[in-house]
Amino acid sequence: MSGKWLSIVGVGEDGLQGLSAIARFLVDQAEVIFGGHRHLAMLPPNDQRQKIAWTSPLSTSIADIIQRRGQSICVLASGDPMFYGIGVTLTRQIPIDEITIIPAPSTFSLACGRLGWSLTEVETLSLCGRPASLLQSYIYPGAKLLILSEGQDTPAMVAEILTNRGYGDSKITVLEHMGGVDERIVKGVAATWNQTEIAPLNAIAVECIAAPGVIPLARVPGLPDHAYHHDGQLTKREVRAITLSTLAPNPGELLWDVGAGCGSIGIEWMRTHPRCRAIAIEQNASRIQYIADNATALGTPHLQIITGKAPQTLKDLPPPDAIFIGGGVTAEGLFDICWQTLRPGGRLVANVVTVEGEQTLFQWYEKVGGNLTRIAIQRAEPIGKFLGWRAMAPVTQWIVIKP
């Protein structure tokens, strides 16, 4: 069906009277209005049109909208519908040719206007319906964060996470009902945050200040080994940095981390960009718990974790853009399913430390080519009163790019 039948109109705290003429026209001419209870309550009491509030799960409402294709539908949304909003969800399922979107200023734009911050120099994230541990990967000295809040308890959760990371001196500003008659700004410091009377509708601004001696965790690969809980099954820092550079993550790409150990490769893949995705496959139950703990602590709670043995567990997974095999390369049939499922142009990287592992990699190399590299790392460690070089087990790495 041609023609624009669906409009998505962003509404600020000032309500329908704050809409532009075109936005107001789209609201007025709609046959059916969708929105949250707060937005639907903005319509006049004598408005006789059908008004439908969002359901839980939201997918039911989306299906309802799609079934009404051809009717004149208006969706009322908060602020900018394309900034963590309902517009993103709808445009994934309905062609943009059928939609008119009129955004209002986003919460982030309003917050920058109140604080005098440059929107291009801040980190923006949403904790609405998302784990608070996402915040972990955004914290660094001097960072300015703008956070969409889940509710009145979110500022206290943010303060606790900052304090536990050694950023207790960070300045927190909570901005309530921006643009409305109930607008209020509450300020404090993370370590002493004790505000309980917070409006459910709020956004949080943070100026990250690290305590003296706190070592920041960079987003580039190669976090310190002590950043992870593990039982020894850890790709060491130097090898990890080389491995991630070989895997070469790009935003939106999916990694399979096969034989994930404590999850370090998948976690650091995801830390390079918020849109990088990863699946960690591990058969050891205690290591599965390490992966989950590390993913939460390091800000990648969306790391998908699968318990089981490769290659059996790989058969129903979505095709990856890159595969890392850190354990179990000698498992029969592993290479075949990995190579078959890997997307064209995808990278397959395997690390081994045993002779048998090397023999397997050489067999794979003879099949499809690629490059073999030997990585030998030595660290200076105390020997009595002096320092001496202690070698880590050499790692043989194979990288191949699928044509």
Distance CA 320, CA 247 (A): 12
Q: Are 379 and 389 in contact (CB under 8 A)?
A: yes
What are the tokens at 147? 């956070």
Distance CA 217, CA 140 (A): 7
> Any idea where the domains of the chain sit in the sequence?
6-104, 108-207, 225-401
What's the average model confidence in pLDDT over 51-58?
95
Q: What is the 3-state secondary structure (H, E, C) of the chain?
A: CCCCCEEEEEECCCHHHHCCHHHHHHHHHCCEEEECHHHHCCCCCCCCCEEEECCCCHHHHHHHHHHCECECEEEEEECCCCCCCHHHHHHCCCCHHHEEEECCCCHHHHHHHHHCCCHHHCEEEECCCCCHHHHHHHCCCCCEEEEECCCCCHHHHHHHHHHHCCCCCCEEEEEECCCCCCCEEEEEEHHHCCCCCCCCCEEEEEECCCCCCCCCCCCCCCCCHHHCCCCCCCCCHHHHHHHHHHHCCCCCCEEEEECCCCCHHHHHHHHCCCCCEEEEEECCHHHHHHHHHHHHHCCCCCCEEEECCCCHHHCCCCCCCEEEECCCCCCCCHHHHHHHHCCCCCEEEEEECCHHHHHHHHHHHHHHCCEEEEECCEEEEEECCEEEEEECCCEEEEEEECC
Side chain identity at residue 163, one-letter code: T
Q: Is the pLDDT of residue 374 over 70?
A: yes
What's the average model confidence in pLDDT over 260-275?
97
Q: Are 270 and 293 in contact (CB under 8 A)?
A: no
| Cα–Cα nearest to 348, from 275, 390, 398, 311 | 398
Q: How confident is the model at residue 130 (pLDDT cuts 50, 70, 90)?
A: very high
Side chain identity at residue 48, one-letter code: Q
What are the tokens at 187? 């300020």
What are the tokens at 55? 């359901």
What's the average model confidence in pLDDT over 21-46?
96
Place of tokens 């026209």: 25
What's the average model confidence in pLDDT over 92-113?
97
Query: Which overall architecture, per CATH, does domain 225-401 show?
Result: 3-Layer(aba) Sandwich (3.40)
pLDDT > 70: percent of the chain: 100
Backbone angles phi, psi at 206, to 5 degrees: -130, 135
Distances 29 to 20, 33, 101 between C-alpha atoms, Å: 14, 10, 15
pLDDT > 90: percent of the chain: 98
> pLDDT by residue (tens digit) across 321-349?
999 999 889 999 999 999 999 999 999 99
CATH 3.40.50.1820 fits 6-104, yes or no: no
Q: How confident is the model at residue 232 (pLDDT cuts 50, 70, 90)?
A: confident
Q: Is the pLDDT of residue 132 over 60?
A: yes
| The pLDDT of residue 51 | 96
| pTM of the full structure | 0.92
What are the tokens at 216? 């920041």
Distance CA 175, CA 145 (A): 13
Q: Is the pLDDT of residue 77 over 80?
A: yes
- Burial per residue of 124-150, b for 16 or more beta-carbon CB atoms within 10 angstroms, e otherwise: bbbbeeeebbbbbbbbeeebbbbbbbb
Kindly give, in sequence order, each residue whose CB lies less than 8 Å from that of residue 160, ignoring residues fewer than 6 positions away.
190
| The pLDDT of residue 1 | 39
| The pLDDT of residue 109 | 97
Distance CA 350, CA 357 (A): 10
CATH number of the 108-207 domain: 3.30.950.10
